[in-house]
Structure 1
């Protein structure tokens, strides 16, 4: 019998395959959104679970996963977040039609993502990143800005943000200028 790691919060995932993979390694309860079909009832249930146990949003690193994350974050800004890198969520076999998903992640990748859980940054007065900093670091208005933002999102485990949303996402997750600069030091073209 495998000694599974206990997670006290409820993890919001997209589907039953995500739940099955998490339960292989963790003693955890999940709430499944059934893909991108999240509605007001789901938000109400997630709010109740968050009030009772705490919630970690752990959606796929793709368009629909980010959409679900944004919807939940907008309505319940104090939830926590876990992020997988795109390559960690890729199917191990190149089966046609398979998309990115939590269900494809290894134990080590899931453990790393859950260890890096982030929560809402309470004191935005400590936030020290500016739009000028983002331009200086090539994250805005550059020919490779999108690739740089993708890289930064993976390194900080906060997911991808477009140019308009990056500053807001960095503030939401309490990322400091020093953390952004350190992550971008490792970026190579």
Structure 2
């Protein structure tokens, strides 16, 4: 599978895993300490080919993703579930199977700068994504279906609104969830 966009990952092991899964150019952030030169390379790649940010599904990975999206608006974001990136007490892209990486990249979404508040907390309550004993698992499954990764309730609401997910797409995903059909 050939990916047109440049994929941004955290480290060399992540790069190796991505290159085993797809044919793509990769930029390394070298963790949280992203240099100005790396930010310039990411911006240049975004202008020329587009960028997909694929960071580890953990807190540091989300912080790196946020820094990149804040500095270089217009990047697509791809998410792996923690379960797909976990091996021997370690969470990271380098642990994911090639198929999981390809699926995450296929579902990559771009942050919309002028996000409309299409969804509210009531939508999340209505579909059992907040406040119930099974809400966390349901949010994880919905995030997988939509390709926006696992999120707590507040993060999920933000992602639904900032990735320009329409009401119809959300309803289809919620119906799949209600039928017990995950991703």
TM-score category, normalised to shorter length: 0.7 to 0.9
Identify the residue that residue 142 of structure 1 maps to in structure 2.
132
Q: Residue 166 in 1 paired to residue 126 in 2?
A: no
Matched ranges for 1:165-184 at <5 A? 165-176=155-166, 177-184=170-177
SS class of match (2:47): helix
Contact 2:57-2:80 at 8 Å conserved across structures: yes
Q: In structure 1, what is the equivalent of residue 178 of structure 2? A: 185
Q: Aligned pair in 2 of structure 1 residues 115, 136: CA closer, same or farther (>3 Å)?
A: same
1:109 paired with 2:100, answer: yes
CA contact (8 A) 2:145 2:173 kept: no
1:37 aligned residue: 33
The residue matched to 1:165 in structure 2 has which SS?
helix
- The answer to whether structure 1 residue 61 and structure 2 residue 57 are counterparts is yes
Aligned pairs for 1:80-119 within 5 A:
80-91=76-87, 94=88, 98-119=89-110
Question: TM-score, normalised to structure 2's length?
Answer: 0.82
Name 1:70's counterpart in structure 2. Answer: 66
CA shift, 1:18, in A, is 1.0
Query: C-alpha separation between the residues in 2 aligned to 1:77 and 1:87?
Result: 28
Question: 1:79 maps to what in 2?
Answer: 75
Residue 39 (structure 1) shift = 5.1
- 5+ residue gaps, structure 2, are none
Is 1:16 equivalent to 2:12 in the alignment? Answer: yes
1:14 deviation in Å? 0.7
44, 47, 55: which one aligns with 1:48:
44
